[in-house]
Chain A
Amino acid sequence: MAVFETMAAAARFLLRGAGLKASIANVNIGDQSLFGITLLRLSPNCSSQTKTQRRNAAHFSYHPDPVPTEYGPTTKMNLFQSVTSALDNTLASDPTAVIFGEDVAFGGVFRCTVGLRDKYGKDRVFNTPLCEQGIVGFGIGAAVAGATAIAEIQFADYIYPAFDQIVNEAAKYRYRSGNLFDCGNLTIRAPWGCVGHGSLYHSQSPEAFFAHCPGIKVVIPRGPVQCKGLLLSCIADQNPCIFFEPKILYRAAVEQVPTEAYTIPLSQAEVIQEGSDVTLVAWGTQIHVLREVANMAQEKLGVSCELIDLQTILPWDTETVCKSVAKTGRLLISHEAPITGGFAAEISSTVQEECFLNLEAPIARVCGYDTPFPHIFEPFYIPDKWKCFDAVKKLISY
């Protein structure tokens, strides 16, 4: 009961702690929540939360990048703040730039656009009706007419109504017109990846669907420093780009990020950690899982892993990956998306073509299962560090 009461008190504290927000909290949920808390407290049968009922802790530990020194002064930012910073730099320097999508005006459901409407005006940061095909179509048109169009799709899981516009229009605009027209000024941003409880429609990683589409670029950062630099590159890039932001990292990933604009090149994979025995390839959140796996491999198996962040899924940096596999002879690729037809399959196929005789073991893919992303089974579904570690063991002992 004690734990319970503490939690109830904590809940009330949190509700009241937000100053002005508290008053509306009290209106909406205050009466109701206090009612709810009272009920929960009075009920003798309500057990205190057991370990199994607590929501799962994250499946990774975030490893921040070292502080960059080459881009000027830095400040502490989390992932969503690094997005805001990139957008702020863009709106400041490019008068044609506009940001639009569902709920971006008040700051966005993940707070990526907080403050921008007030700073730059409602004609530059604005809500659209609830319609993804419209958002992307509108963005293509704006880009064709010369504006820097930055479209937000609220969750990557909801990008599919826009699939026709992306694949049949955006990707093919330049090619089909003989380079008379293009929508290179278009960037589409969307939250991406598992978040602990997102289930079927708030956890998806759809990069593989878009990897199959020549004409667009697909980019996924692992942290705030990469995020800002890569996003600015996407915005500057004269091709339509899709930028997936790992939503589980929005708050959890904190780094010192340069306040000025800077770019990190697209289509360049980064060797985050050098090693000699096994090449590990991933992108986004999974990089942090593999970092731990690399440490575990070193400690428990004496195995030295080379960790590569692919960063750009399309067009991807085959050279860096193949060079690494030529050195180590062993490759593990890991992503949350389902294994069949996932992007690891493409990497695997190319690597075995280029590095066949270097390979000491079959290429390992540790990925999601071929099911929709489940809710309560997430701990069993995701390619966690134990599955990856086990795969490294098998690679070494092949």
Chain B
Amino acid sequence: MATLNSIKNMYGICSHVIRQTTGLRAAKLIQQRAFRVNGALRQQPFDSSEEKPQFPGASAEFIDHLEFIQPNVISGIPVYRVMDRAGKIINPSEDPQLSKEQVLNFYQKMTLLNTMDRILYESQRQGRISFYMTNYGEEGTHIGSAAALDPRDLVFGQYREAGVLMYRGFPLDLFMAQCYANVDDLGKGRQMPVHYGSKDLNFVTISSPLATQIPQAAGAAYAAKRENTNRAVICYFGEGAASEGDAHAGFNFSATLECPLIFFCRNNGYAISTPTNEQYRGDGIGKTGSTLFCLGSRSVCVRCEPRILCRAVAENQPFLIEAMTQATRIGHHSTSDDSSAYRSVDEVNYWDKQDHPISRLRHYMTARSWWSEEDERSWRKQSRKMVMEAFEKAEKRHKPHPDLMFSDVYEEMTPNLVKQKEAMWRHVQQYKEHYPLDAYAK
């Protein structure tokens, strides 16, 4: 406990264990989000007569004997969860009591994502796209956390949050367009697959370097605070990225500058081949910040998040949710990885077959007679059809016009770049048989 308190003091980030369930009151709480003036801790006035450490921010007392703060005194930070493995709510009073429509929507989005992942992973293996990253096992985390947000809330992601975008309504066509880098890609074909972005859906375009989004999210939250429109920011990252210096910077800035922000750490147990016991000591990354844990892979976040969001915006404080997606990362890190080199078959099998968020949510629905075998069959057929149609269409489209290689380096095209573009075209015209011009838009 002493450790937690000192962390709390150091970063000023709220330290709570929140008991929550799957997002029933989500909608209501989001509406209740209010902007209150932040009641920040006031500095104690300097008083040299007091026998206390008298420097800014200090609130501790002197002691006269040496005391070590043991890191592992407590048995880890408790992990909040609502549902058990079979999809049953453990504590009925925590039942989110979501409507059938909401839950069906969650389930369909999660399974659509899963279907898209399977198709696109396979398409990479067949050389149709150059790269892919799946979201296996984390579908619940994405959909659940996205459902608690307001559509205006700005999302900064890392690279394994496609479900958030899917929940917000990013069409399959545009997912595919980005992966195929075709002419419909909002990013104009410049980035590797899965580096999605959407200004309309307030999802900042993904970049490969890890944790760079974390201090950016703090800055965005600060700007949002000043806008005074009740907008919040959410920042996703993995437990590996949390080791970067940028993560420390982001947490610290968000606390000291009082930013309305949720940090959402997807702790899936691995950073490529590196397990968490080589990434950090302790039972989570909570040591570096707040200590809210939610078992996100069970769509729990939809419930805990709205209250966190309200507080984040109202109190201009950052909150950290560490989603122990202890379905761990079921898939490989990416198509460039073969995790059999460092993980056992049994381990992965267990998570895939016995503890998958999709199957848990299905059990929840079937227990309420909200979803039948027939519904499942017909949805599977329909979702596959949707994905395949988008896939086929994306594959046939041209690539963007090569002029787009030169634009958006700056807001304006510099004379230097104009010259380079002209030189490129002169060259390509002269040697056109050596360039795949047919594949590109004219």
Contact = CB atoms under 8 A, between A and B. Distances in A.
Contact of A375 (B126, B181, B207, B241): B181
B131 A201 contact: no
Contact of B405 (A7, A43, A102, A381): A381
A14 B190 CA distance: 30
A275 B349 CA distance: 61
A375 B388 CA distance: 24
A375 B192 contact: yes
A21 B348 CA distance: 13
B345 interface: yes
B69 interface: no
A21 B344 CA distance: 10
A55 to B, nearest CB: 6
A29 to B, nearest CB: 6
Contacts of A390: 427, 430-431
A52 B435 contact: no
B245 A134 contact: yes
B97 interface: no
A264 interface: no
- The size class of the interface chain B forms with chain A is 35 or more
Given A11-B126, A106-B342, A201-B208, A161 B272 contact: no
Contacts of B192: 197-202, 375
Contact of A11 (B125, B210, B341, B434): B125
Given A28-B330, A43-B388, A380-B402, A129 B438 contact: no
A146 to B, nearest CB: 25
A56 B136 CA distance: 29
A386 B395 contact: no
Contacts of B339: 24, 28
B384 interface: yes
A105 B273 contact: yes
A8 interface: yes
B307 interface: no
B130 interface: yes
Given A24-B340, A197-B130, A381-B405, A11 B122 contact: yes
A93 interface: no
Contacts, number: 211
B415 to A, nearest CB: 11
B240 A130 contact: yes
A130 B271 contact: yes
B352 A28 contact: yes
Interface string A28-60: 110011011101100101110101111110000
B84 interface: no
A379 B428 CA distance: 11
Contact of A377 (B117, B189, B343): B189
A376 interface: yes
B348 A375 contact: no
Interface stretch (A73-81, A214-222, A364-372): A364-372
Interface of B: 117-119, 121-123, 125-128, 130-131, 136, 181, 189-192, 195, 207-210, 240-241, 243-246, 271-274, 278-280, 330-332, 336-343, 345, 348-349, 352, 384, 387-388, 391-392, 395-396, 399-400, 402, 404-406, 409, 414, 416-417, 420, 424, 427-428, 430-431, 434-436, 438-439
Interface of A: 7-8, 11, 14-15, 18, 20-21, 23-25, 27-29, 32-33, 35-37, 39-40, 43, 45-47, 49, 51-56, 102-103, 105-107, 109, 127, 129-134, 157-158, 160-161, 196-202, 339-340, 369-372, 374-377, 379-381, 384, 386-387, 390
15 contacts: A8-B126, A27-B345, A28-B348, A32-B118, A32-B122, A36-B119, A39-B119, A46-B388, A102-B271, A103-B272, A129-B243, A131-B243, A132-B244, A202-B192, A375-B130
